[in-house]
């Protein structure tokens, strides 16, 4: 009996410590505590899930993988990511089909530095279960061209290159708060910076819609800024498909996890708040 009581006490102590030292919590858009269980349940009813991450955050990357693992038994999935660009789709498909190995993908595709630790597990999960994985983003060099020289610089590109981006011209609303913030970040009133981000958002949304199929769930991984406050990718998706059921997840960090910072209210349907010590 003493042994049982000892281990029971130890378990309660460990549980209490874990509750005091949480690494992350979930809030809803109104700032109320919620749970991963509720997020999973809501995800199952969506057409598209936009998982907004911090690119260097281990908790977000872990939860991305856990989410698709938990969705997979009951849902045909299509996966996609900002971190892979449209002109790398052929190489990605060859990897998914087993025609090339990881070394081959390394040589043929432009992969982020943290691909192997943070995004390869997602791609390999799609490969294992034979799900499509869509390279949704515009090639970075073209977004950079818009940033440096404006949208008109794309007019000089041949049609073979324009296939890697959203169909031009594309709708753009520079008054959206997320784009306004970008202009303030630069300290001067130029549309080039938010326009460069908008062409990424529009391209990713177009890619999602092009691959979305009935009775499937498209889970897309992107930086939080690209879907926060129901803008970015979300705005472009809803503009073309108003009835599309979209669930948004955003990642942010705080020193204290008890309450959601007021500036994060309405940031997403589910807001993943990570202890700031785990955000770099």
Give me the tens of pLDDT residue by residue for the chain, a chain 280 residues long.
Answer: 444 433 334 333 334 445 567 899 999 999 999 999 999 999 999 999 999 999 999 999 999 999 999 999 998 999 999 999 999 999 999 999 999 999 999 999 999 999 999 999 999 999 999 999 999 999 999 999 999 999 999 999 999 999 999 999 999 999 999 999 988 887 766 899 999 999 999 999 999 999 999 999 999 999 999 999 999 999 999 999 999 999 999 999 999 999 999 999 999 999 999 998 886 5
Q: Apex CA 180: angle with CA 174 and CA 181, to 5°? A: 150
Q: Which two structure tokens, joined as six digits, stand for 224?
A: 């939080």
pTM of this structure: 0.91
* Domains recognised in the chain with CATH numbers: 24-278 (3.40.50.11550)
CB atoms within 10 A of CB 260: 22
């Amino acid at each position: 009996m003493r042994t049982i009581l000892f281990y029971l006490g130890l378990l309660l102590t460990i549980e209490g410590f874990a509750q005091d030292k949480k690494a992350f919590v979930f809030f809803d858009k109104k700032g109320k505590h919620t749970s991963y269980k509720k997020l999973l349940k809501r995800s199952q009813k969506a057409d598209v899930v936009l998982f907004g991450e911090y690119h260097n955050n281990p908790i977000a990357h872990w939860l991305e993988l856990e989410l698709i693992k938990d969705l997979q038994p009951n849902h045909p999935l299509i996966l996609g990511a900002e971190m892979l660009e449209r002109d790398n789709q052929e190489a990605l498909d060859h990897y998914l089909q087993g025609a090339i190995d990881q070394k081959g993908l390394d040589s043929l595709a432009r992969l982020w530095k943290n691909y192997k630790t943070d995004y390869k597990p997602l791609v390999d999960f799609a490969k294992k279960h034979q799900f499509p994985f869509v390279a949704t983003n515009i090639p970075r060099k073209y977004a950079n061209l818009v940033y440096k020289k404006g949208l008109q610089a794309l007019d000089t590109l041949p049609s073979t290159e324009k296939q890697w981006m959203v169909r031009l011209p594309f709708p753009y609303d520079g008054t959206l708060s997320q784009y306004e913030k970008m202009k303030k970040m630069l300290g001067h009133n130029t549309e080039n910076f938010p326009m460069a981000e908008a062409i990424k958002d529009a391209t990713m949304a177009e890619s999602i819609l092009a691959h979305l199929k009935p009775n499937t769930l498209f889970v897309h991984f992107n930086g939080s800024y690209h879907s926060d406050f129901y803008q970015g990718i979300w705005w472009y998706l809803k503009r073309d498909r108003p009835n599309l059921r979209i669930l948004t997840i955003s990642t942010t960090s705080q020193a204290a996890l008890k309450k959601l910072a007021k500036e994060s209210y309405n940031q997403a349907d589910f807001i993943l708040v990570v202890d700031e010590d785990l955000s770099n």
